[in-house]
Amino acid sequence: MNRTAIIGGGISGLTLALLLREKGHDVRLFEASDEPGGAIRTTRSPDGWMAEWGPNTIIESSGRIKRLVAMLDLEQRRRYPDSAANKRYIVRGGRMVPVPDSPAALLGTPLLSASAKLSILREPFRRRSRNDHDESLADFVRRRLGEEFLKWPIDALVGGIYAGNPERLSVRHAFPRLALLEEQHGSMILGQLKGGIRRPPGSDEIPRNKAEIFSFDDGLQVLPETISRQLGDAVSFGSAVERIHQEPPDATSPTRQGRRWQLHLSGELQPQDFDTVVYAGTSFGLSGMALPESLSGLLAPVCDIPHPPVTSFTMGFRRSDIAHPLDGFGVLVPGIEGFSILGTLFTSTLFPNRAPDGHVTLTTYLGGSRQPEIAGMDEEKQAALVLADLRKLLGLSGEPLYRHRIHWPRAIPQYETGFGRFLELMDRAEREHPGFYLAGNYRTGISVGDTINAAFDLAERIAGEPGTDQAGKQGGAQVDSGQDDGKK
């Protein structure tokens, strides 16, 4: 039986452990912290408030995500958002403007000027990119739709998804669907009208406009908690892997050309031996482990993938203290509007059980690439900034009755231009070190849906590599078509 170690108990590592165990591997998962889930974590207070530390929802972007929920017997506990949460707002001119959801609404919306609306009609006639260079999202949007699109809807969206900067993000790596629409149809608008990007035969991908978002009755951490419970003793918490060592070839071993991997864990004198090792931690976490020289040389640049800081603030208020109907998913704020916040989710509109009766919760994000200095401020200064913006936008009058703050010094990996070089290094590290794999949001897409889909792909790939045979191995990173471009 293949003895497999998985380093990291975020959703990537947990899903992979579950799937590999189903495929007959003897799996052990090591998680440095005391809880499963990594970025997915929920705080539930006895008086009825609920706050997510990281993601609030998962997009059901494939049949595999549905399958995972079914495998865990969680279908009864899955919650789709209230229909009241369909509307999305973007700030323009200091006010919240609904994002148009029909051609008629688009014609009338104050979100875009008349000339920006006309640029939508012109988009199908714009020439596609002539060269193969790694274009920034900002240049792509400027070229196809113009500056106004970039400054308002796109900047707002990028703040909400990546907490990132469109001038630095790569359209090909961070928003592969947009790049593919242009490549396959010559136009984003025509491509959408023709049914979106072409999917490979057999793909179980659910088109973005049909994919639903969901959470669970007790919040998103139900998912990693349930996987961890199913894995039972195979998961060790408080177990940071400090060193990965590769044994020299041993002709007597039946696996991996005799190569075995040894993991040195915090607080343990004896290393543990494995045939297969999957690192499913963070990219910056790679620098905290001693690796074989050949691996650390290849992966050193990967440790430096930028992750801007983000603070997430969930606040609870009396319903009567907010003038706005909170009739939507939330509001995103473009940088040009001069607010301190990146955006706010109306979390108890999405899932009413996140606040006691007669109350609401709002989750606000601060910082990102746009204003990293705000993410570095102390809690009281940040709270004052959040409240000031919510007063302007939502007509908030009272003080919060509940507050939950979590600061992520390194929140979300940025797939910036040049990201391809990291993917090549990761592919090479795997190719040159049979039995070693890399998984996680720094490689195959940042959303929870991406990481689950990638875990299914990797489990197939690992299980398809019998013993020493590396024939089934393909370049690991498939960032071409699988990512969720819009999760929040």
**Rule CB under 6 A: which residues touch ligand FAD?**
7-13, 30-33, 38-40, 54-58, 240-241, 280-282, 285, 288-289, 310, 312, 408, 411-412, 440-441, 446-449, 451, 487-488
Task: Please report how close the Cβ of residue 160 comes to ligand FAD at its closest, in angstroms.
Answer: 9
> Do 354 and 361 touch, CB atoms closer than 8 A?
yes
Q: Of 35, 37, 67, 70, nearest to 54 (Cα)?
A: 37
Of the two residues 184 and 272, which places its CB atom closer to ligand FAD in the complex? 272
**CA torsion through residues 159, 160, 163, 169, sign:** negative
- Identify which of residues 11 and 138 has a Cβ nearer to ligand FAD in the complex: 11
To ligand FAD, the closest distance from the beta carbon of 115 in angstroms equals 33
Nearer to ligand FAD, 335 or 343 (CB): 343
In terms of DSSP bridges, do strands 276-279 and 3-7 run parallel, antiparallel, or are they unpaired? Answer: parallel
CB of 220 to ligand FAD, least distance (A): 9
Q: Tokens standing for 119?
A: 């640029």
| Cβ atoms of 473 and 430 closer than 8 Å | yes
Identity of the residue, 30 or 175, whose beta carbon is nearer to ligand FAD in the bound complex: 30
Taking the least distance from each CB to ligand FAD, the nearer of 176 and 440 is 440
Q: How far is the CB of 398 from ligand FAD (least distance, A)?
A: 26
| 43: enclosing H helix or E strand | strand 42-44
Q: Which is nearer to ligand FAD, 11 or 458 (CB)?
A: 11
301 — alpha (psi -120 to 50), left (phi > 0) or beta? alpha
Cβ-based nearer residue to ligand FAD, 69 or 145:
69
Residue 272: other Cβ atoms inside 10 A: 17
CB of 263 to ligand FAD, least distance (A): 9
Half-sphere exposure in the Cβ direction for 260 (13 Å, CA): 13
Q: Which is nearer to ligand FAD, 227 or 390 (CB)?
A: 227
- Hey, which residues does 94 pair with through a beta bridge? none
Compute the least distance from the CB of residue 196 to ligand FAD, in Å.
19
Strand, coil or helix: 20: helix
Nearest CA to 256 among 6, 426, 2?
2
Q: Is 324:96 a contact under the CB 8 Å cutoff?
A: yes
CA 41 – CA 9 distance, rounded (Å):
12
Least CB distance from residue 206 to ligand FAD, whole Å?
A: 14
- Who's near 76: CB < 8 A, 6+ residues apart? none
Nearest distance, CB of residue 152 and ligand FAD, angstroms: 21
Residue 53 CB, nearest distance to ligand FAD (Å)?
Answer: 7
Degrees to nearest 5, angle at CA 223 with 218 and 228: 120
Shorter beta-carbon distance to ligand FAD: residue 32 or 377? 32
Contact of 331 with 89, CB cutoff 8 Å: yes
